[in-house]
């Protein structure tokens, strides 16, 4: 199974206020991306037999979005037209379903696509919805435990356990902004220093403003195809070598004692993906990790074997996870700087890897990139979805 085309909206603030005289409509934005992606892929509209959408945010005016889009695009499909939802893994699940249509022989070409608009919604409304989704409504949500609060607890534990420092964690944000400055799709492209990061107001101690994700709008369309189709196009493409998935059967912070900074689901999913691809973490040329905060990038990198346990923050501070380092991580700028339109964030990871493995990433290109990893998560990495991809020229 392969990726042969991609198009994405630069991450930023695109959503219209409810009382705005001119409205930016999600279906119009996404339709333009579909045209771009399919044109780039070099396939005919009639070749597309499946579309799996990341379910849009509840704020989206148009409901039953997938079938509306099938009509708007005048695109009949015999494979699948559906929406999927899985919080931060939503875009990853859209990719999985589109891939499954191809692997099951239902479609030769399928689209994995979605749009996430949320920036014009009042912060209070957005947070109340988020807490009900990501926390236990009988315990966590009433006390205001937000995702950033879990990650802050992770950071505190990590620094205690391994003697790491706030400076080392903050270095992840500096590195990601340096990468984002080279990415035309990134929400924040102005360079920052370590002092800039440390000077920001605390969101939840020890994580400051630049160490947590912004609210973001974004949209992506990926074109997936059977490898025979990709080969017939006679142009570079990206092949999916393997995938791994694991859900630990817990919702966010579990009442069952565990190692809160081990990210066991990521470890299990990573082991599956590496075994099925027949490679080891050291064989990768880059990784695009779903990491809402600096500490999450550190913990996920360690769980996936990209850095040694307890040394992920130090690797970032030493430049070993930067472009030109041992294992470049989040060359797109990551969630803290590229931006985090949550329901489509995993699709942006595939866009970055698609560019890197075809050698079209411009100034942020990893020289000679052949193998890459993407990840997506549910909650505090209670579940992880990992893909290993390979460039074919």
Please say if the pLDDT value at position 131 is more than 80: no
Instruction: Tally the domains of the chain.
Output: 1
In a domain, 365, yes or no: no
Q: Once rounded to an integer, what is the mean pLDDT over residues 289-305? A: 98
pLDDT for the residue 68: 97
**What's the CA gap between 46 and 9, in Å, rounded?**
24
Question: Mind listing the pLDDT tens digit for each residue in 312-325?
Answer: 999 999 999 999 99
Q: Are 233 and 109 in contact (CB under 8 A)?
A: no
* Residue 266 to residues 44, 251, 301, 385, Cα–Cα distance (Å): 38, 15, 9, 8
pLDDT for the residue 147: 85
* Residue 285 to residues 178, 288, 297, 365, Cα–Cα distance (Å): 18, 11, 17, 11
**What's the CA gap between 184 and 260, in Å, rounded?**
35
In a domain, 54, yes or no: yes
**257: pLDDT confidence band, cut at 50, 70 and 90?**
confident
Q: What is the mean pLDDT of the chain?
A: 95
Find all residues with CB under 8 Å of 361, minimum gap 6, and list them. 331, 352, 355
**254: pLDDT confidence band, cut at 50, 70 and 90?**
confident
Q: What six digits make up the tokens of 201? A: 């107001």
pLDDT for the residue 213: 95
**139: pLDDT confidence band, cut at 50, 70 and 90?**
confident
| Secondary structure (DSSP) of 207-263 | EEGGGSPPP-BEEEEEEEE-HHHHHHTTS-EEEEEEEEEEE-S--SS-SS---TTT-
pLDDT for the residue 315: 98
Q: Once rounded to an integer, what is the mean pLDDT over residues 201-227? A: 97
Q: Are 275 and 286 in contact (CB under 8 A)?
A: no
- Is the bond leading into 206 cis (omega within 30 degrees of zero)? yes
Q: Are 354 and 268 in contact (CB under 8 A)?
A: no
Q: What is the 3-state secondary structure (H, E, C) of 2-36?
A: EEEEEEECCCECCCCCCCCCCCCCHHHHHHHHHHH
Q: How much is the CA Rg of the chain, to the nearest whole Å?
A: 20
Task: Give the CA angle between residues 290, 292, 297 to the nearest 5°.
Answer: 60
| Secondary structure (DSSP) of 327-374 | S-B-TT-HHHHT---GGGHHHHHHHHHHHHHHT--GGGPPTT--EEEE
In a domain, 280, yes or no: no
| pTM reported for the whole predicted model | 0.96
What share of the chain has pLDDT > 90, as a percent? 86
In a domain, 73, yes or no: yes
Q: Are 32 and 242 in contact (CB under 8 A)?
A: no
Q: Once rounded to an integer, what is the mean pLDDT over residues 176-181? A: 98
Q: What is the CATH number of the domain that holds 13?
A: 3.40.47.10
**What's the CA gap between 99 and 95, in Å, rounded?**
6
- Edge-to-edge strands, sheet with 80-84: 80-84, 48-54, 109-116, 218-225, 2-8, 237-247, 383-392, 371-378, 286-288
In a domain, 99, yes or no: yes
Closest CA to 205 of 280, 154, 247, 161: 154
In a domain, 171, yes or no: no
In a domain, 169, yes or no: no
Please say if the pLDDT value at position 136 is more than 90: no
Q: Once rounded to an integer, what is the mean pLDDT over residues 117-134? A: 82
**What's the CA gap between 31 and 1, in Å, rounded?**
24
Domain residue limits at 94: 2-120+216-232
**366: pLDDT confidence band, cut at 50, 70 and 90?**
very high
Q: Once rounded to an integer, what is the mean pLDDT over residues 270-297? A: 98
**134: pLDDT confidence band, cut at 50, 70 and 90?**
confident
Please say if the pLDDT value at position 140 is more than 90: no
**What's the CA gap between 160 and 283, in Å, rounded?**
31
pLDDT for the residue 61: 87
pLDDT for the residue 32: 98
């Amino acid at each position: 199974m392969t990726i042969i085309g991609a198009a994405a909206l630069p991450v930023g603030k695109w959503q219209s206020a409810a009382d705005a005289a001119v409205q930016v409509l999600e279906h119009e934005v996404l339709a333009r991306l579909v045209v771009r992606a399919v044109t780039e892929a070099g396939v005919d509209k009639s070749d597309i037999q499946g579309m799996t959408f990341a379910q849009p945010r509840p704020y989206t005016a148009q409901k039953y979005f997938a079938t509306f889009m099938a009509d708007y695009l005048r695109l009949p499909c015999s494979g699948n037209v559906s929406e999927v939802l899985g919080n931060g893994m939503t875009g990853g699940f859209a990719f999985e379903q589109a891939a499954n249509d191809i692997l099951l022989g239902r479609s030769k070409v399928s689209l994995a696509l979605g749009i996430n608009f949320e920036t014009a919604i009042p912060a209070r409304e957005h947070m109340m919805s988020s807490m009900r989704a990501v926390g236990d409504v009988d315990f966590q949500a009433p006390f205001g435990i937000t995702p950033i609060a879990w990650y802050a607890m992770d950071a505190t534990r990590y620094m205690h356990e391994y003697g790491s420092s706030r400076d080392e964690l903050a270095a992840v944000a500096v590195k990601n902004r340096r990468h984002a400055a080279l990415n035309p799709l990134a929400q924040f492209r102005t360079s920052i220093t370590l002092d800039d990061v440390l000077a920001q107001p605390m969101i939840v101690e020890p994580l400051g403003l630049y160490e947590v994700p912004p609210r973001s709008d974004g949209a992506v369309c990926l074109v997936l195809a059977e490898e025979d189709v990709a080969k017939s196009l006679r142009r570079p493409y990206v092949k999916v070598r393997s995938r791994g998935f694991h859900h630990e059967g817990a919702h966010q912070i579990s009442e069952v004692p565990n190692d809160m900074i081990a990210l066991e689901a990521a470890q299990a999913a990573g082991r599956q993906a590496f075994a099925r691809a027949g490679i080891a973490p050291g064989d990768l040329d880059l990784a695009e990790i779903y990491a809402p905060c600096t500490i999450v990038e550190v913990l996920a990198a360690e769980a996936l074997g990209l850095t040694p346990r307890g040394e992920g923050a130090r690797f970032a501070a030493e430049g070993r996870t930067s472009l030109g380092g041992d294992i470049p991580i989040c060359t797109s700028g990551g969630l803290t700087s590229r931006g985090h339109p949550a329901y489509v964030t995993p699709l942006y990871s595939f866009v970055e890897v698609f560019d890197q493995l075809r050698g079209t990433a411009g100034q942020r290109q990893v020289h000679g990139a052949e193998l890459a990893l993407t990840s997506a998560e549910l909650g505090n990495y209670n579940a992880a979805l990992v893909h290993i991809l390979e460039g074919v020229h």
